[in-house]
Amino acid sequence: MASKTDKLFKGMSTKKIANVASMGGEVLDLPNYSGVDKGTKQNTIMGHNRNLVVTVGSEKFLQIADLVVMTDTKGLTAIHDGSIVGISINWNNGMPSGKFSNINMRVKVNGSNVWENDISASMGTDKEAYFTQARGTDTFSAGDTISVCFEGDGSGNITMSKVIVSLEYYYDD
């Protein structure tokens, strides 16, 4: 069972705990305190406001930083070593053509697929999906390029619009 200290400081950074301790809180041996996730959690938002036609056999990348389209070599450049822990999406889908079955949402590091999740290919607005994984599952190194793209399964295509993706990752400080 978690102690009162564990419950009090769950999810807080070492810096915040140190601030609480310095303001008259319980004195902790911070380097050995096991209830704290070490590292810095980051979150990056990317999107595509116009139509994004997703087809089978062709990856379509999101836009970031004022309409710059991501590719295998153009994306977020990692500042530190770390790992990807979550991704969420809110989007609209048009009517699929052909025998379109799924949309694969991919996270890539240096052009290699490291994490893939299927999202709905059914028609609709304000669709939402989110996925999490354990820290350390899909890692990257300082200087690596991280990007997000979509590719369809089956045959035909689908038009996605108003796509907003949030990528969550930890830096191993």
pTM above 0.75, yes or no: no
DSSP H helical ranges for the chain: 4-9, 14-22
pLDDT digits (tens, 9 = 90+) for 140-150: 999 999 999 99
Please state the rounded mean pLDDT for residues 74-82.
93
Average pLDDT, the chain: 79
> Residue 20: is its pLDDT beyond 70?
no
Q: Among 9-23, 26-40, 146-160, which stretch is predicted with the lowest mean pLDDT?
A: 9-23
Domains of the chain: 1-37 (no CATH), 39-171 (2.60.120)
Please state the rounded mean pLDDT for residues 88-100.
90
Euclidean distance between CA atoms 20 and 66, whole angstroms = 39
Euclidean distance between CA atoms 52 and 62, whole angstroms = 9
* CA atoms 88, 150, 161, 92: torsion sign: negative
Choice between 126 and 39, residue whose per-residue pLDDT is larger: 126
Q: Residue 17 corresponds to which amino acid?
A: I
How confident is the model at residue 49, as a pLDDT? 65
